[in-house]
């Protein structure tokens, strides 16, 4: 009875009235056609009672009373008519068993009259309801379902109500159709007048029935497992999905007074199944504040995020070094627009390969903190020109590290990769040699702390799978995955950069910092989820094509080499790999020989020398 609200009562009483009146009309019509035939008063009374009870019960069981007026469709009218037919057919059978003398024509006319009346009432009432309820409403309002019926949902509903008289507020364009919540006590209850329509398992069916266009995930305290489960269900709909951030990420200050304004579009990382790693912002601020910070590769995906995050912590100045002027210009303009003249920003188009130019930059600006993100990192491309990977990755790193030591920088942080662990491709092997260079410097430097940060694939970075998948889906092409079983560790760009900054803050020199990235994720699963987020069905609307492993690519990535033990840090998600001793007598001569081979563009010799320097290099040519 709790679910039997006013709307259902209106329908039920209307049906009773229409069936009674319709039966009386039928009796008049029938008497005109067959004046000699009569059911008698009590016969007519029994017909009315049987029709009312049986039609009502069948309509209720078919859900005819549960449908919202706004979303009543042709199929719902058909179901309603079928319910009337079934109810009256049962009434005929019962009346026949009791009375025997039955006119089939009477029941046929009665079915037509009463069913037409019931359907016509629904049609007219729906039109009237829509006219009244939509009076003053924006016809372009986005039909929205809210996931969660707790405090966050109540705040969002209050914000929507408060914005109705402000047409310039984007919140005013939201039409809430209802909420869902997994608490049994909240089902069919109301939050600020909006009904809880069901549980999260009903999201797909509710979205279809109520023509939902947007879903707002409003459970900021949700556990990572429940979050992933619910977002996986949301991804099965064709709705746009917005997510209220985790509690720790919410802001309430002069610029952030509303909760709904902090809702963000769902990102593929929301489906990875783990909470974002948190970092000690106070420690990072103490590390950055008042320092001259240099970021090589500062226009790239990791480098530009380093610039953004460093800018938040009041550095003395930021020096962006990048060979690609377009990216460097973009991040330069972004920082200028946000901070104006409050940050001393220098943007230099230069190559880390050019030792003399880098020496000039170090001598002029004297960076105290150096973040080395410049690198070639596209695995298949580096397979074809290993000498270029060596020139840029290895000797670019050697140049910058040597100059950091020469000009007594406080700290040097190398951006490395999990592909450096037991590498199977040229890019990974060159990054492993970079790690060896940094460990060599760390063991001998008197002034500069050298540290390496190693993480897996970064979602949305240049060269990652997500931008490629997006381009393929948007252009209508098949999504290409190399292998159905290929898996990778993933992290977000902000997480990767926060790791770099916190590692720099706690580094003593020589460490390899590794982030606990949770469980690895199948690439094909990411592709399927991304396709669903575009409102399409994998393998039906968008094909997924398996192209085979590329040169140097392996199915699984590792984060630590066998000889590197793990040590805990103050952050339970960050670990330290032990420093590996480098033999200086052989290491520097090997680097010289490798440099000569690379500058002579001898690809085969470069590969041979890399294999000699990195015994764990198992080159896969596929």
Residues with a known catalytic role: 419
**169 φ, ψ to 5°?**
-85, 120
Show contacts of 310-314: CB within 8 Å, 24+ apart. 310/501, 311/335, 311/338, 311/339, 311/343, 313/284, 313/285, 313/287, 313/288, 313/289, 314/285, 314/288, 314/289, 314/290
Q: Coil, helix or strand for 217?
A: strand
Output DSSP code: residue 91.
H
To the nearest 10 degrees (0 to 180), the angle between helices 395-406 and 426-444 is 20
Rounded to a whole number of angstroms, the distance between the first and last alpha carbons of the chain is 67
Residues in the chain: 622
Strands 490-492 and 574-577: unpaired
> Are the CB atoms for 553 and 620 separated by under 8 Å?
yes
CB atoms within 10 A of CB 251: 11
> Are the CB atoms for 314 and 342 separated by under 8 Å?
no
Output DSSP code: residue 392.
I
> Are the CB atoms for 214 and 239 separated by under 8 Å?
yes
Residue that the structure tokens 């986005």 belong to: 142
């Amino acid at each position: 009875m709790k679910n039997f609200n006013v709307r259902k009562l209106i329908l039920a009483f209307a049906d009773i009235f229409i069936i009674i009146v319709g039966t009386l009309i039928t009796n008049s019509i029938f008497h005109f056609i067959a004046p000699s035939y009569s059911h008698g008063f009590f016969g007519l009374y029994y017909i009315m009672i049987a029709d009312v009870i049986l039609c009502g019960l069948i309509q209720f069981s078919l859900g005819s009373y549960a449908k919202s007026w706004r979303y009543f469709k042709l199929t719902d009218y058909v179901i309603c008519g079928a319910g009337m037919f079934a109810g009256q057919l049962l009434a005929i059978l019962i009346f026949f068993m009791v009375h025997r003398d039955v006119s089939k024509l009477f029941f046929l006319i009665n079915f037509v009259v009463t069913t037409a009346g019931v359907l016509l009432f629904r049609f007219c009432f729906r039109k009237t309801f829509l006219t009244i309820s939509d009076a003053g409403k924006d016809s372009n309002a986005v039909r929205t379902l809210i996931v969660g019926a707790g405090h966050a949902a109540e705040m969002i509903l209050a914000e929507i109500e408060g914005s109705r008289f402000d047409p310039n507020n984007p919140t005013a364009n939201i039409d809430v159709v209802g909420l869902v919540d997994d608490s049994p006590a909240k089902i069919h209850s109301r939050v600020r007048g909006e009904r809880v329509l069901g549980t999260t398992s009903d999201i797909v069916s509710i979205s279809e029935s109520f023509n939902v266009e947007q879903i707002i995930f409003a459970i900021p305290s949700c556990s990572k497992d429940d979050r992933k489960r619910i977002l996986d269900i949301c991804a099965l709909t064709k709705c746009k999905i917005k997510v209220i951030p985790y509690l720790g990420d919410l802001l309430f200050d002069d610029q952030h007074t509303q909760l709904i304004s902090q809702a963000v579009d769902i990102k593929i990382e929301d489906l990875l199944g783990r909470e974002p790693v948190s970092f000690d912002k106070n420690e990072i601020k103490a590390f950055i504040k008042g320092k001259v910070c240099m970021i090589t590769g500062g226009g790239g995906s990791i480098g530009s995020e380093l610039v953004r995050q460093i800018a938040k912590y009041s550095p003395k100045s930021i020096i962006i070094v990048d060979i690609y002027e377009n990216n460097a210009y973009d991040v330069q303009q972004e920082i200028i627009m946000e901070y104006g003249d409050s940050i001393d920003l220098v943007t230099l188009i230069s190559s880390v390969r050019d030792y003399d130019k880098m020496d000039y930059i170090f001598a002029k600006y004297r960076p105290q903190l150096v973040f080395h993100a410049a690198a070639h990192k596209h695995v298949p491309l580096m397979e074809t020109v290993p000498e270029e990977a060596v020139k840029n990755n290895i000797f670019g790193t050697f140049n910058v590290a040597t100059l950091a030591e020469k000009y007594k920088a406080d700290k040097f942080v190398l951006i490395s990769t999990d592909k450096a662990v037991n590498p199977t491709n040229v890019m990974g092997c060159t990054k492993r040699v970079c790690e060896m260079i940094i460990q060599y410097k760390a063991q001998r430097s008197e002034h500069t702390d050298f540290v390496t940060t190693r993480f897996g694939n970064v979602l949305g970075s240049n060269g990652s799978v997500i931008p490629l998948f997006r381009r393929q889906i948007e252009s209508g092409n098949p999504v290409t995955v190399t292998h159905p079983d290929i898996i990778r560790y993933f992290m977000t760009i902000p997480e990767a950069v926060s790791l770099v900054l916190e590692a720099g803050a706690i580094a003593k020199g020589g460490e390899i910092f590794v982030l606990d990235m949770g469980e690895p994720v199948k690439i094909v699963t990411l592709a399927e989820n991304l396709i669903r987020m575009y409102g399409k069905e994998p393998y039906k609307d968008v094909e997924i094509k398996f192209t085979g492993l590329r040169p140097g690519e392996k199915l699984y990535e590792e984060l630590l080499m066998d000889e590197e033990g793990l040590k805990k840090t103050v952050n339970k998600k960050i670990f330290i790999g032990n420093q590996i001793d480098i033999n200086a007598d052989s290491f520097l001569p090997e680097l010289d020989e490798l440099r000569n081979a690379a500058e002579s563009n001898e690809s085969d010799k470069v590969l041979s020398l890399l294999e000699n320097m990195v015994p764990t290099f198992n080159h896969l040519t596929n």
